[in-house]
Amino acid sequence: MLTLYGKTLTSRLMLGTAQYPSPKILTEAIAASGTEVITVSLRRETAEGSGAGFWDILRESGAHILPNTAGCHSAQEAVTTARMARELFGTNWIKLEVIGDSDTLQPDVFGLVEAAEILCADGFEVFPYTTDDLVVGARLVAAGCRVLMPWGAPIGSGQGLRNPEALRTMRAHFPDIPLVVDAGIGRPSDACAAMELGMDAVLLNTAVARAGDPVTMARAMAGAIEAGRAGFEANPMERRDMAVPSTPLLGLAELA
């Protein structure tokens, strides 16, 4: 079980809702993934005019809605968008994004911390999209965030985990804070690797939405996350520099 801001979840997969080929495929992908948290960008969906059908899909999924501030490039933009999302969705949950670079979509960590301080003080339960930097993570926790969402790689890149050692270090440094890898996951093996590092969940969008078969990919991601978590909890063997025989030598017959 995973608990985020007092809500207990059985699924450790969070799914984005953008870029799907059709509403039907989005609906089927959500169901196939088993997710209990779906994210939606207020700015993007308002700009694209998705209409009532899109909102019906979100409501009928039964999942928790995690609005996000995608597309915001300043703390004030993000704060304003978060407050609008709270009014629209009736939730204090907000995935906080403050983008600092238009090419890499890397978070502006200074604006991120500023916005997090304002929103946490305003009663929001903030899920900050951040880098894998320990100091930034500590500042976000000090601001009131009870979840951290470090990136695996740039948004939509599908590069997987570019710095697994940094994520492993974050896990050790924040043992009691849920860590959700957000951005960069491209394949089920990437999601499994994140969970084997001890991450608590994975949030992904493009890897499913842009797959040749989004529904099958959603199901595959769910299975990979479950397997990776089980592998972490099983306390896997350490890597070795040399071969070690699995069959004991003691008791073997000596053949002349």
| Alpha helices for the chain (secondary structure H) | 23-33, 42-48, 52-61, 75-89, 109-121, 134-143, 164-173, 188-196, 206-209, 214-233
Q: Which pair of tokens denotes residue 100?
A: 């600092």
User: Which pair of structure tokens corresponds to residue 56?
Assistant: 């019906």
Provide φ and ψ at 199, rounded to 5°: -65, 155
Handedness of CA 9, 145, 198, 39 (dihedral sign): positive
Q: Which of 211, 189, 214, 195 is nearest to 2 (CA)?
A: 195
Residue with tokens 């609005």: 67
Annotated binding site: 156, 183-184, 205-206
CA atoms within 13 A on the CB side of 44: 14
95 catalytically annotated: yes
Please, what is the Cα angle at 111 between 107 and 115, to 5 degrees?
110
Binding positions for 1-deoxy-D-xylulose 5-phosphate: 156, 183-184, 205-206
d(CA 123, CA 144): 10
119/80 Cα distance (integer angstroms): 10
Interacting residues of 72 by C-beta distance below 8 A, sequence separation 6+: 43, 78, 81, 97, 98, 99
How far is it, in rounded angstroms, from Cα 118 to Cα 141?
Answer: 13
Q: Which of 95, 139, 219, 229 is catalytic?
A: 95
Which of the residues are catalytic? Answer: 95
